Amino acid sequence: MVDHKIPVILDGDPGHDDAIAWVLAKSNPNFDIKAVTSVAGNQTLEKTTYNAMRVCTLLGIEAPIAKGRNKPLLAQLITAGNFHGESGLDGPKLPEPCMQLEELSSVELMSKVLNETDELVTIISTGPLTNVAALLLAHPEVKDKIGMISIMGGGLRNGNWTPAAEFNIFEDPEAAQIVFTSGIPLTMCGLDVTEKAIVYPDDEKKIRAIGNQVSTIVADWLAFFFKHHEQLGWSGSPLHDPCAVAVLLKPEIFTIKDLYVQVDTKGQYTRGATIPDWHGTSKQQPNVRAVLGVDREGFVDLLVEACKVYDDRKVEIQ
């Protein structure tokens, strides 16, 4: 029996790994998903919004869905079609949305949820931080209602979009800087952990063997995601976004270190880099819980158990 549920806002740019992160989030009885907000990133806002609605239909997430920002705060939008395909979620057929979009923007819906919810709200952001930063700029008064922001973003030792910067942060470094300097408790799942959260073809087979509609689609998403990573020489897929959910569900399988991390917005080669103060030279207090490692098998087990939760769910797919 769940004693009390944690109010959660899911913010992302689905995206295969965002979608699998939401499979994890919805499977957990401790989460009360209050809102879903889409952001441009992996693909254009139109596509990530449509994908968000389809994934929520597939999973039975009944929270309001609001369209977020269609470009970074200052920079021009770059999309990652090479990883996620033209639709942003290529691969298996998905159900058409069963809901209408919220009239409110992502900022207004997030603000409404934060004002109406008595308990502190957790925001799980798995895309560029544009929506979260826009919320903090427009409604600074809601800051104290946010208990934790858990992100997939950054890399303390390397990037994946440039040598120095990870995609989500590189997409909108100004937004990331606003979030990293907000003083709100921040859990950062950067490439340091997500490139260890590797799902191999054998793991995909294990998930496919579960045999329900969601597990079959998750296996198909993994197969699509792996196709591109295999071409890059990976022997499995680094499952980035689900780490931002898993670390809240099962922190004991992760290695976490409090660190002071700065976001570079000006560097010629390092714009979008997340720079850790490993030795305290800045004399600054830590601003993030940096997630550095994971028990890979434990992570895969979590995914498998999450997929089994959907055994009794099946929606119509034309």
**Bridge partners, 294 (sequence order):** 254
Which of ligand RIB, Ca ion, none lies near 160, with the C-beta cut-off 5 to 8 A by kind? ligand RIB
Q: Give how many residues touch Ca ion by CB under 5 A.
A: 6
Run of H or E residues at 238: strand 237-238
Determine contact, residues 307/202, Cβ cutoff 8 Å.
no
Measured distance CA(91)–CA(29) in Å, rounded: 28
List the single partner that 220 binds among Ca ion, ligand RIB, none, CB under 5 to 8 Å by kind.
none
CB of 75 closer than 8 Å to CB of 114: no
What is the closest distance, in whole angstroms, from the C-beta atom of residue 172 to ligand RIB in the complex? Answer: 11
User: Does 240 participate in binding ligand RIB (rule CB under 6 A)?
Assistant: yes
Show the binding pattern over residues 155-174: x = contacts ligand RIB (CB under 6 A), - = does not: -----x-----xxx------
Within 8 A by CB and 6+ apart from 10, the residues are: 21, 22, 25, 33, 35, 36, 37, 61, 63, 124, 126
Instruction: Verify binding: residue 15, Ca ion, rule CB under 5 A.
Output: yes
Name the residue among 162, 236, 155 with its Cα closest to residue 189.
155
Contact between 17 and ligand RIB by CB under 6 A: the answer reads yes
Which residue's CB is nearer to Ca ion, number 51 or number 215? 51
* Residue 174 C-beta: closest distance to ligand RIB, Å: 17
Cβ-defined contacts of 277-283 (< 8 Å, 24+): none
Determine if 154 is a binding residue for Ca ion (CB under 5 A): no
> Is the four-CA dihedral 20, 274, 48, 134 of positive or negative sign?
positive
Pick 130 or 160: Cβ nearer ligand RIB: 160
Q: Write down the least CB distance from residue 301 to ligand RIB, Å.
A: 22
C-beta closer to Ca ion: residue 127 or 236: 127
Q: Which residues are catalytic?
A: 240
Binding positions for ligand RIB, 33-62, rule CB under 6 A: 41-42
- Rounded Cα distance between 304 and 266, Å, is 42
Please state the closest distance from residue 167 (CB atom) to ligand RIB, in A. Answer: 4
Out of 48, 126, 150, 160, point to the residue binding Ca ion (CB under 5 A): 126
Beta bridge partner(s), residue 291: 189, 256
Question: What whole-number distance in Å separates Cα of residue 26 and Cα of residue 34?
Answer: 11
SS3 assignment, position 120? coil
44 with 69: CB under 8 angstroms?
A: no
Compute the least distance from the CB of residue 258 to ligand RIB, in Å.
23
Q: Does 152 bind ligand RIB (CB under 6 A)?
A: yes
What does the alpha-carbon distance between residue 192 and residue 181 come to, in Å, rounded to a whole number? 21
Q: Is 130 helix (H, G, I), strand (E, B) or coil?
A: helix
Binding mask 202-241 for Ca ion (x = CB under 5 A): ---------------------------------------x
Residues that bind Ca ion (CB under 5 A): 13, 15, 18, 126-127, 241
Residues near ligand RIB, by CB under 6 A: 13, 15, 17-18, 41-42, 80, 126-127, 152, 160, 166-168, 240-241
